[in-house]
């Protein structure tokens, strides 16, 4: 069964796409927690970061570099937060690893 993100990648579900390349897709979060909140999603299904393998190293790096590039494009030069949820207690709701990028306001610490 396809994940929600696979359906978005395959254009079965609409999304506000900010960027796409051969390795990932970047969409705006439908329930933003900051003025700017987007997701960087690998096209290869990696269920969660804890089960990523050495073979995924280039993909994981690409996700972070893409996150930084899109953040710059969206004028987050004052700062942004990168979050990867892992497992139920970590806030994971979709079993397809993705990177949250939040910005556009001052973010407090600790989070949630």
Q: Does any domain span residue 44?
A: yes
Tell me if 69 is assigned to some domain: yes
Does 109 reside within a domain? no
pLDDT of the residue at 110: 86
pLDDT in tens, 54-100: 999 999 999 999 999 999 999 999 999 999 999 999 999 999 999 99
CATH number for the domain spanning 75: value is 3.30.428.10
Asked whether the predicted pLDDT for residue 34 surpasses 80, the reply is yes
- Whether 96 is catalytic is no
- Domain membership of residue 83 (yes or no) is yes
Q: Could you give the C-alpha distances from 75 to 39, 70, 72, 78, 105, in angstroms and in order?
A: 16, 9, 5, 8, 12
Q: Which domain holds residue 22?
A: 4-103
Domains identified in the chain, total number: 1
Helix, strand, or coil (residue 37): strand
- The verdict on residue 59 lying in a domain is yes
pLDDT at res. 54: 97
From residue 63, give the alpha-carbon distance in Å to each of 12, 20, 21, 75. Answer: 23, 11, 11, 18
Percent of the chain beyond pLDDT 90?
A: 96
> Does residue 35 lie within any of the structural domains?
yes
Active-site pick, 19, 37, 62, 98? 98
Is residue 110 situated within a structural domain? no
Please check whether residue 112 lies inside any domain of the structure: no
């Amino acid at each position: 069964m396809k994940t929600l993100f696979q359906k978005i990648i395959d254009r079965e579900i609409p999304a506000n796409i900010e960027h796409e390349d051969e390795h990932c897709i970047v969409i705006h979060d439908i329930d933003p927690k900051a003025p700017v909140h987007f997701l960087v999603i690998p096209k290869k299904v990696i269920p969660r970061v804890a089960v990523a393998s050495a073979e995924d190293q280039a993909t994981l790096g690409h996700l972070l570099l893409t996150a930084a590039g899109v953040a710059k494009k969206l004028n987050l030069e004052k700062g942004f937060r990168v979050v990867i949820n892992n497992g139920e207690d970590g806030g994971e709701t979709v079993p397809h690893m993705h990177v949250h990028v939040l910005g556009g306001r001052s973010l407090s610490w600790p989070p949630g």
